[in-house]
Chain A
Amino acid sequence: MSIQYKSIKDLSNMLLKRDISHEELIKETFSLIESNIDLNAFITLNKDSAIEKAISLDNNKVESTLSGIPIAQKDLFCTKDLRTTCGSNMLSSFVPPYSATVITNLENAGCISVGKTNMDEFAMGSSNETSFFGNVENPWGKNLVPGGSSGGSASAVSSGIVPAATGTDTGGSIRQPASLCGITGLKPTYGRISRWGMIAFASSLDQAGPMARTAEDCAILLNHMCSHDLKDTTSLDEPIPDFTEDLDKPIKGMKIGIVKEFDLSKLDNDVVKVFEDSKNHYESMGAEFVEISLPNISLSVPTYYVVAPAECSSNLSRFDGVKFGTRCDDPKNLEDLYIRTRSEGFGDEVKRRILIGSYVLSAGFYDAYYKKAQQVRRLIKNDFDNAFSQVDVIMSPTTRGAAFEAGSKGSDPIQMYLEDLFTIPANLAGLPALSLPNGFVNNKPIGLQLIGNFLEESKILQFAHNFQKTSDFHLKTPRGENIS
């Protein structure tokens, strides 16, 4: 029995009914990885210990829906004794002595980590083209990018190799690749999932989240990913609900906000049509639409490109060739060690952001850039607070279009930065947001973004699940088949 494209729920039932053993499931997963090796979705595989764990689960099952479920982990999460590269030459041989809290949480719930997925270097990129380990292919088309930075995770789920993957989202790195690969991905409220063991890009924006075929699977994963972690002081000490509880509740009478300032007229007609279709779909389920205003939203991208590089320039200082990671050969002196290690260890996009970040934090520029950006961030947050007094969720396209070809954004980084136009605001405001497949443009999937209020992951999952119960966009495979 093929396991490809199966959801967590399906696989869990198969294991429960002993249609398949844990060992068979994991071995089959590795066959799928092998047959899809051209996607370049994985940087490092965890075959031996994954099979070992599967065998032990065959003898001793964990009481959880996730018991025995194969999962792909973004290579940004530290995994004990398993190489963790963050997509960078700098960490190309780094083996962490500890695991990220979210990895431990998932593995304790019975998940089997099958490997580490490819990604943009240090999560900086929107096409997975900045990875030291090469481009990842989008299963929906030769030479199409999967999006980024969680491109490997999106590609692995989209191709049906695994039902679930972890991602991280600093400015859209879960939602954008989910949109481009036709899967569902959720960025939770900032602080829901511990950042302990996540290699930091921009600490005040980084948030881990689940990537899966369906909203329901995302809810199941989220149940086990969240925890209040004393090792992360920004981790929230809030009750963690059962995120599957509200999935089936109808959305009739609930309100969806449409952002006045998101000018869709600049998007392709096809993209706009898909979005309008989704609005009609929700309307048919009884949802009401309200136009809302987020007056400062146009400042999101510039604000983000001050805050994120500033934090990254500091976070990446520890990669200096002294203690771990790559070190240049035969340094002549300390300065030479720093300069060559960092020149050789980092790729262009990472260097660009370190430079921007160092600049905006410099004496004399701090007030004009970083401080100002933080003030604008507060205004954007206030805009959302006002909006959520009127609506339950806010809806927009996730991306400006479908997957593009590798190399097509050329050498202009601004074009790439605009990829995250719709996704960045939720990061700045710390709000939960997800992307679900809502249609196709030129036979390529695109996604719909739902932004929720603080801690209201359940509500956006409910909206997404209601949509998926009455549509089949999430059930199309790249080969054009429908998953039964």
Chain B
Amino acid sequence: MSWETVIGLEIHVQLSTKSKLFSGGSTGFGAEPNTHVDLIDMGLPGVLPVANREAFHKAIRFGLATNAEINQVSSFDRKNYFYPDLPKGYQITQMTMPIVGKGSIKIDVDGIEKIINITRAHLEEDAGKSIHDLFDGETGVDLNRAGTPLLEIVSEPEISNAKEAVAYFKAIRQLVTFLDICDGNMAQGSMRCDVNVSIKKEDATELGTRAEIKNINSFKFIERAINYEIERQIRIIESGESVIQETRLYDSVKNETRSMRSKEEANDYRYFPCPDLLPVVISDKEFSEIKDNLPELPDEKEKRYIKESNLDEAEAKIISSSKTMANMFEEACAKTNDSKLVANWLVGDVSALLNKDNIDIEESKLSSNNFAVLIERISDSTISGKIAKSVLEEVWESGEDVDKIIKDKGLVQIQDESVLEDISQNIIRDNPSQVEAYKGGKDKLFGFFVGQVMKETQGKANPKSVNDILKKLLDN
């Protein structure tokens, strides 16, 4: 018997606004605990929330980029539950009138495209953090994150396997980074997701009972958690039992999911409209301003790179796949005006290094400015392509400044033709038998002389000059 998997994702995207969703508190990451907390974030008696319009603008950008319905009138509700890192005892969220309605996004799994529909995307405030392992027998609460704006993006249950789920998550991440509404930093928790998984027989029309796996923040864990969960559910059903509706946690160390709470234990959130906040109305003018200033999206970039920068389709696709890569490309092109050279390096050496380390470009130590300088030094003949490779490798390891590496290691290419000519003459003089063989018709030996010059100059000779000089000396 064959099982079909049905997956839906709820992705929480931390919006990169300067201040929090309902207060002037800073959203900066990594500060001392409870230093980015104002009266409102603390939920002091008597304080009132004021909605941050920047968060709405960012949410609308997402809606526009996913061809979604935008609700120019949206409102806030309270979701009531007790937890120490939830200062007010309720979370302000958008239950009944979310800012973004139905939309969709295209995903790509091994070259096959699929459209995933998005049910809604709504604004809500993040909670703080409970710290359980710092104080013996006590829990610490850090409210720095409390009130940070989140866009919760809810997909339809149209995802069929773990690979598609990862592709969907990646597509959302790509989009929100291009839209400049989220930094996409998963290690810092800027994107997290809840995964709903159920299985059903292939021909069944009704969905099976689902389990919700909470709070996963890496591609790898999404894939593993889903695959574990599918197997678990198949095992249960095939042994004649039934899956119960519950919330589960993924343990990345043991690679398993385990029960957090069942449906019976679930909170009754007692949703009701937040009486402190009037509905937020986005005027037509505001709306069209956001629309007119929408940043260029990956598809548009890809087309532009093919048309204006003469890249082939494969190159354009790889480079436009991430905002960081695209920025690197554009910055380096601006410096050198040689889009082909830039593309070759990104698609070739840089991509090879990424594959080798199995990381994303954002995680590498190569900054776009440093990369642009590297290309510029190749382009202005300061260093040869071969030297550039070693410089890139060094930058990759250390993040060191390109010009500093070139200077410290004395890698500047030898341009002085008289120097190269002297070296070449010495080589010819020291290798009479090879000269004779070459002149006798062994053309391939030309490479030997080039190699010798390069060896003598530790690779710093300009290859084109060496070629010209050797040709002149040997062929006369």
Contacts and interface: CB of A to CB of B under 8 A. Distances in A.
B80 A317 contact: yes
B45 A78 contact: yes
Instruction: Give the bracket for the number of chain B residues in contact with chain A.
Output: 20 to 34
Interface stretch (A213-221, A227-235, A278-286): A227-235
Interface in B57-113: 78, 80, 82, 84, 87-90
Given A322-B84, A334-B84, A358-B270, A78 B46 contact: yes
5 contacts: A202-B275, A234-B277, A314-B78, A314-B80, A366-B270
Given A203-B275, A203-B276, A233-B276, A96 B268 contact: no
A86 interface: yes
Interface string A180-224: 000000000000000111111011100000000000000000000
B98 to A, nearest CB: 18
B44 interface: yes
A334 B39 CA distance: 24
A363 to B, nearest CB: 5
Interface string B258-300: 0000000000101110011110000000000000000000000
Contacts of B44: 78, 96-98, 324
A341 to B, nearest CB: 11
A84 B47 CA distance: 14
Interface residues of A, number: 45
A454 interface: no
A379 B89 CA distance: 31
Nearest to B267: A363
Q: Which of A231, A311, A314, A361 has the most CB of B within 10 A?
A: A314
A91 B277 CA distance: 25
Contact of B51 (A231, A233, A324): A233
A317 B50 contact: no
Contacts of B43: 318, 323
A320 interface: yes
Contacts of A338: 82
B77 to A, nearest CB: 10
Nearest to A90: B45
B42 interface: yes
B48 interface: yes
A404 interface: no
A362 interface: yes
B141 interface: yes
Given A230-B50, A363-B268, 15 more contacts: A91-B45, A96-B46, A97-B44, A195-B48, A200-B276, A232-B48, A233-B278, A314-B78, A314-B272, A317-B88, A318-B88, A320-B84, A324-B44, A366-B270, A366-B271
Pairs A-B, 10 closest by C-beta atoms: A317-B89, A361-B270, A203-B275, A204-B275, A197-B46, A199-B45, A78-B46, A318-B43, A318-B88, A322-B84
Given A234-B278, A314-B272, A323-B87, A196 B82 contact: no
Contact of B50 (A233, A325, A334, A361): A233
Contact of B46 (A196, A361, A362): A196
Contacts of B272: 310-311, 314, 361, 366, 370
B45 A86 contact: yes
A100 interface: yes
A346 B272 CA distance: 23
B48 A231 contact: yes
A224 to B, nearest CB: 19
Contacts of A77: 46
Contacts of B276: 200, 203, 233-234
A196 B277 contact: no
Contacts of B89: 314, 316-318, 320
Contacts of A361: 80, 270-272
B44 to A, nearest CB: 7
A305 interface: no
Contacts of A417: none
A94 B44 CA distance: 10
Contacts of B78: 314
Nearest to A199: B45
Contacts of B88: 317-318
B46 A323 contact: no
Contacts of A230: 50
Contact of B48 (A233, A317, A322, A358): A233
Most buried by A among B43, B90, B272, B277: B272
Interface string B321-334: 00000000000000
B46 A100 contact: yes
B34 to A, nearest CB: 10
Given A97-B39, A318-B45, A323-B87, A233 B277 contact: yes
Contacts of B80: 313-314, 317, 361
Contacts of B45: 78, 84, 86, 91, 94, 96, 199-200, 318-319, 324-325
Contacts of B275: 202-204, 234, 311
Interface in B1-51: 39, 42-51
Contacts of A362: 268, 270
A79 B110 CA distance: 63
Interface in A292-319: 310-311, 313-314, 316-319
A231 B277 CA distance: 11
